[in-house]
Amino acid sequence: MDKRRVLFVCVHNSARSQMAEAFLKKHGGERFEVESAGLEPGVLNPVVVEVMKEAGIDISRNKTKSVFDLYRQGRSYDEVVTVCDESQAGTCPVFPGEALKIHWVFPDPSGFTGNGDDKLAKTRKVRDVIEKKIIEHFGLA
């Protein structure tokens, strides 16, 4: 059986797309080939690394990747899921090709304000919503 190829995309590939990739790998196992990328790859968000570790997933060694690099490498996907928030809808990258294109709206942890505990709490909420969406959308319950 062919694996379903899925790409999660956001602006910096530093938070939401990384979480989505990690959760689909965790829950989807061998059924999926999963990657994530960004329009302007940044640096992994340390708060996201911490809340994912709390969920039992270590993404600390993940690298941020460019959508353009994946395209130039000739990658193709069955589904491309953008995970930007509403304020970034205009800059949310697209991946060319025949893939089914889906858009999910999640707040950007890099924009969270408050002290460290506030940022952790807000990022945990995003993490939990992303995991729930992954399980529901890909039928992994």
Write down all domains in the chain, each with its CATH number in brackets: 4-137 (3.40.50.2300)
Dist CA 66 CA 72 (whole Å) = 10
Contact yes or no for 43/64 (Cβ under 8 A): yes
Contact yes or no for 45/52 (Cβ under 8 A): no
**What distance separates the 2 farthest-apart alpha carbons in the chain?**
48
pLDDT in tens, 13-60: 999 999 999 999 999 989 999 999 998 899 999 999 999 999 999 999
pLDDT in tens, 58-79: 999 999 999 989 999 999 999 9
Please list the active-site residues.
10, 84, 92
Which pLDDT does position 39 carry in this prediction? 86
- This prediction has a pTM of 0.94
Distances (CA, A) of 69 to 40, 49, 127: 11, 24, 26
